[in-house]
């Protein structure tokens, strides 16, 4: 397989046309606004900050949604099924004064399978060597033993992020914050990854906690994941949305060929009955998944999906 990173276009990066504003045709007002913006975002020389922020929390808490909101693009797939994120993944926010590297982790849970154990291990491993840890908690779910278990493993200067603020009223949010104050962590932020409410204040706090240093990723980078992984994840995201019961946990996806514009992606399930569901009547599910994923890919992509049964993929993977 060709390395898909080679296909990555720099066109959307800040060296593109947008970065070249400021010609003679600019109005005085635009120039004033620009200099005001630059005053806010351009650091004093040497005060650029860069660091790694890890997000930990129970499955479904809203970690990936929050990272996508902070980065401003979908870098991590989201679903209403728990245990959506299976591996560590980085999203990158680059500003003039700072680069924030956000580590998305699988939700930490009581594992029942080998895959679950690996996901917990991946989450714990991802939380080493980072600058700031955020404990992400769902405002709409009672604070429980699962959250407390995770909290105990986090450093005392962690930040508690209570998300899904849009789902609860201010009173319920206050009650959740009060219940969480027993954790005695450094700071508490009510936010909504869905609406963006409260996210700016959180990001400002995180930036302030990062060490000074140059950016680790080039401008224009939003994720450390290879394109092929991203496409496989987009396919899995559609399947998670379309399936239920134990099926979401039985599905893995993998790009097997990348010869632009052709992308072949394999969907692996554990049983023949699951294969039939994923294909759908007359291929209807595969067709719908393909259409939904293609709409998120650059124009011209030709996505071919195939389904394979491998009853041991969970044990083999990783
Ligand atoms: N209303 C609302 N829903 C949210 C918000 N954040 C996440 N959700 C929903 O909650 C569900 C789980 O979100 P994810 O971002 O996948 O949660 P996660 O913590 O990454 O979950 P895992 O990857 O399974 O650990 C999805 O259905 C999201 O749409 C929010 O701020 N408001
Ligand atoms: Mg996730």
Taking a C-beta distance cutoff of 8 angstroms, is the pair 82, 138 a contact? no
Residue 77 CA: nearest ligand 1 atom is 16
Helix then strand count (H, E) for the chain reads 11, 9
Give the model's pLDDT for residue 259. 97
Taking a C-beta distance cutoff of 8 angstroms, is the pair 147, 58 a contact? yes
Q: Is 108 in the pocket of ligand 1 (CB under 6 A)?
A: no
Tokens of 50: 């860069």
The one-digit pLDDT tens for each residue of the chain (318 residues) are 334 333 333 233 333 322 333 333 344 554 555 455 444 444 455 699 999 999 999 999 999 999 999 999 999 999 999 999 999 999 999 999 999 999 999 999 999 998 999 999 999 999 999 999 999 999 999 999 999 999 999 999 999 999 999 999 999 999 999 999 999 999 999 999 999 999 999 999 999 999 999 999 999 999 999 999 999 999 999 999 999 999 999 999 999 999 999 999 999 999 999 999 999 999 999 999 999 999 999 999 999 999 999 999 998 776
For residue 67, how far is its CA from the centre of ligand 2 (angstroms)? 9
Q: Is 68 in the pocket of ligand 1 (CB under 6 A)?
A: no
Residue 78, helix vs strand vs coil: coil
Mutation to probe ligand 1, out of 71, 78, 89 (largest number of atoms < 8 A from CB): 78
Give the model's pLDDT for residue 3. 40
Q: At what angle do helices 284-294 and 227-242 cross, to 10 degrees?
A: 130
Give dist(CA 55, CA 67) in Å, integer.
9
Could you give all domains of the chain from N- to C-terminal order, each with its CATH number?
49-209 (3.40.50.300), 227-316 (3.30.300.20)
Q: Is 84 in the pocket of ligand 1 (CB under 6 A)?
A: yes
Give the model's pLDDT for residue 51. 98
Give dist(CA 161, CA 159) in Å, integer.
6
DSSP 115-161: HHHHHHHHHHHHTTT-SEEEEEEETTS---HHHHHHHHTS-TT-EEE
Give the global pTM.
Answer: 0.87
Number of residues that this document lists for the chain: 318
Ligand 1, atom 26, lies closest to the CA of: 80
* Most distant CA pair in the chain, distance: 67
Name the pairing type of β-strands 252-259 and 89-94.
Answer: unpaired
Name the pairing type of β-strands 98-104 and 49-57.
Answer: parallel
Phi, psi of 253, deg, nearest 5 = -135, 155
Give the model's pLDDT for residue 301. 97
Mutation to probe ligand 1, out of 63, 65, 119, 237 (largest number of atoms < 8 A from CB): 65
Ligand 1, atom 13, lies closest to the CA of: 62
Ligand 1, atom 8, lies closest to the CA of: 62
Q: Is 79 in the pocket of ligand 1 (CB under 6 A)?
A: yes
For residue 67, how far is its CA from the centre of ligand 1 (angstroms)? 10
Tokens of 228: 């092929």
For residue 30, how far is its CA from the centre of ligand 2 (angstroms)? 40
Ligand 1, atom 27, lies closest to the CA of: 80
Beta bridge partners of 212: 49
Taking a C-beta distance cutoff of 8 angstroms, is the pair 86, 106 a contact? yes
Give the model's pLDDT for residue 16. 30
């Amino acid at each position: 397989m060709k390395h898909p990173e080679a296909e990555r276009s720099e066109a959307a990066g800040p060296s593109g046309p947008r970065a070249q504003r400021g010609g003679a045709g600019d109005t005085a007002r635009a120039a004033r606004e620009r200099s005001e913006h630059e005053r806010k975002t351009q650091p004093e020389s040497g005060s650029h900050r860069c660091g790694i922020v890890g997000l930990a929390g129970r499955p479904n808490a809203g970690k990936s949604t929050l990272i996508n909101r902070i980065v401003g693009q979908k870098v991590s797939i989201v679903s209403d099924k728990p245990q959506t994120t299976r591996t560590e993944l980085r999203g990158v926010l680059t500003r003039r004064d700072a680069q924030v590297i956000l580590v998305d982790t699988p939700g930490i849970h009581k594992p029942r399978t080998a895959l679950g154990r690996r996901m917990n291990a991946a989450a714990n491993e991802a939380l080493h060597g980072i600058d700031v840890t955020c404990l992400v908690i769902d405002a709409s779910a009672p604070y429980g033993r699962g959250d407390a278990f995770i909290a105990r493993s986090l450093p005392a200067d962690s930040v508690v992020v209570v998300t899904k603020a849009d789902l609860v009223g201010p009173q319920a949010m206050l009650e959740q914050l009060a219940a969480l104050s027993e954790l005695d962590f450094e700071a508490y932020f009510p936010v909504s990854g869905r609406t963006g409410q409260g996210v700016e204040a959180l990001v400002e706090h995180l930036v302030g906690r990062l060490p000074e240093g140059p950016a680790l990723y080039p401008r224009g980078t939003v994720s450390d994941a290879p394109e092929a992984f991203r496409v496989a994840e987009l396919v899995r995201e559609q399947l998670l949305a379309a399936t239920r019961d134990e099926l979401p946990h039985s599905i893995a996806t993998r790009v097997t060929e990348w010869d632009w514009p052709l992308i072949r992606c394999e969907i692996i399930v554990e049983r023949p009955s699951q294969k039939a569901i994923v294909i759908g009547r007359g291929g209807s599910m595969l067709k719908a998944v393909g259409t939904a994923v293609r709409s998120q890919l650059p124009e011209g992509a030709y996505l071919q999906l195939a389904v394979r049964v491998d009853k041991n993929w969970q044990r083999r993977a990783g």
